Amino acid sequence: MKTMQAITRQQFGGPEVLQLSEVPMPVVQAGSILIEVRAFGLNRAELYMRRGEWGDVAAISGIECVGQVVTDTTGCMQPGQKVMAFMGGMGRSINGSYAGFTAVPAANVIAIDSELPWEVLAALPESYATAWTCLHRNLELKAGQRLLVRGGTSSLGQAAIALAVHMGAEVIATTRQTAHADWLRDLGVRHILVADANSGIHIESVGGKVDAVLDLLGNSSILDSMQQTRCGGHVCLAGFLGGLAPLAAFNPLAQMPSGVHLSFFGSFNFGNDDFPLNDVPMQQIVSAVETGALKLKPARSFALADIALAHQLMETNAAHGKLVVRV
């Protein structure tokens, strides 16, 4: 039996439950692609999986990766081809990317052509695909419009800021700490507002209501986000950095401003008929990073054996950007 190295979890708990182990290679089902994992990005969803807060999940976590095709049961991709893979049940219903190899539904694998280092490519898949979809599909953002990103220093927030600035939008971002102001300005943010997930913001101080809001804080701020949006504007809820507690006694008739469009996007939809991966111009995004048009640098890179330390940094909000792991 062929084996591989993987990070496994025998029980739910803190970062220490993640252990480097030797496990059997994945069994490749029809319609799936076997990928040799070269690197993967870390995501807050994997903290919830590790702690057991999302119920019964796969023993090997990881919702995204970059690597090379070993076998494609659909015959569409060739061995050795570079790919990105994300979602499709990775880390939830099927073993994910915290391993030397992973078998992913073909609908959740996209081919790329790039000479960028694996660690840089690993910072792109889930964050940039989600950010692009939120900006272009849910928010219908256009060049010259004003975008508010709530949770701007998160990895998804940074991806959204980079893409929005690249397309010519004016970006306003929120952060909990004034120490992050210079960092956000370096990303191209025009105005910075300091606020936590439970406090309102004063949009009048930065030019008045915006055309669009990408709210990564969640239910705790979504009502306030709608109040900061012009009539005809759009608000997209796409994160839960402020917690998962539901809105108490939500009354749309009394609390939603007229003419403001509210929607939600969850990256777990990628790969289904409504959100196919080929809708996201990932090759264009990769090429923009190669030319320097998009500034991208992982916050920190780890070896597979150091996964517990990486989780600890992410859990204590000390990551300051996208963490990636080399395999």
CA atoms of 191 and 96, how far apart (whole Å): 38
Phi, psi of 76 (to 5 degrees): -85, -25
Predicted pLDDT at 196: 73
pLDDT digits (tens, 9 = 90+) for 195-211: 876 778 889 889 999 99
Q: Report yes or no: 251 and 120 within 8 Å, Cβ to Cβ.
A: no
Predicted pLDDT at 197: 66
Predicted pLDDT at 46: 97
pLDDT digits (tens, 9 = 90+) for 107-162: 999 999 999 999 999 999 999 999 999 999 999 999 999 999 999 999 999 999 99
Counting Cβ atoms within 10 Å, is residue 5 exposed (0-12), middle (13-18) or buried (19+)?
middle
Once rounded to an integer, what is the mean pLDDT over residues 186-195? 92
CATH superfamily of 3-123+297-326: Medium-chain alcohol dehydrogenases, catalytic domain (3.90.180.10)
Predicted pLDDT at 295: 86
What is residue 198's DSSP assignment? Answer: T
Once rounded to an integer, what is the mean pLDDT over residues 78-105? 98
**pLDDT at residue 238 greater than cutoff 90:** yes
Look at domain 127-268 and name its CATH class.
alpha beta
CA atoms of 156 and 149, how far apart (whole Å): 10
* Residue type, position 230, single letter: R
CA atoms of 256 and 320, how far apart (whole Å): 33
Q: Is 314 helix (H, G, I), strand (E, B) or coil?
A: helix
pLDDT band at 181 (very low <50, low <70, confident <90, very high): confident
Domain ranges of the chain: 3-123+297-326, 127-268
Predicted pLDDT at 266: 96
**pLDDT at residue 286 greater than cutoff 90:** yes
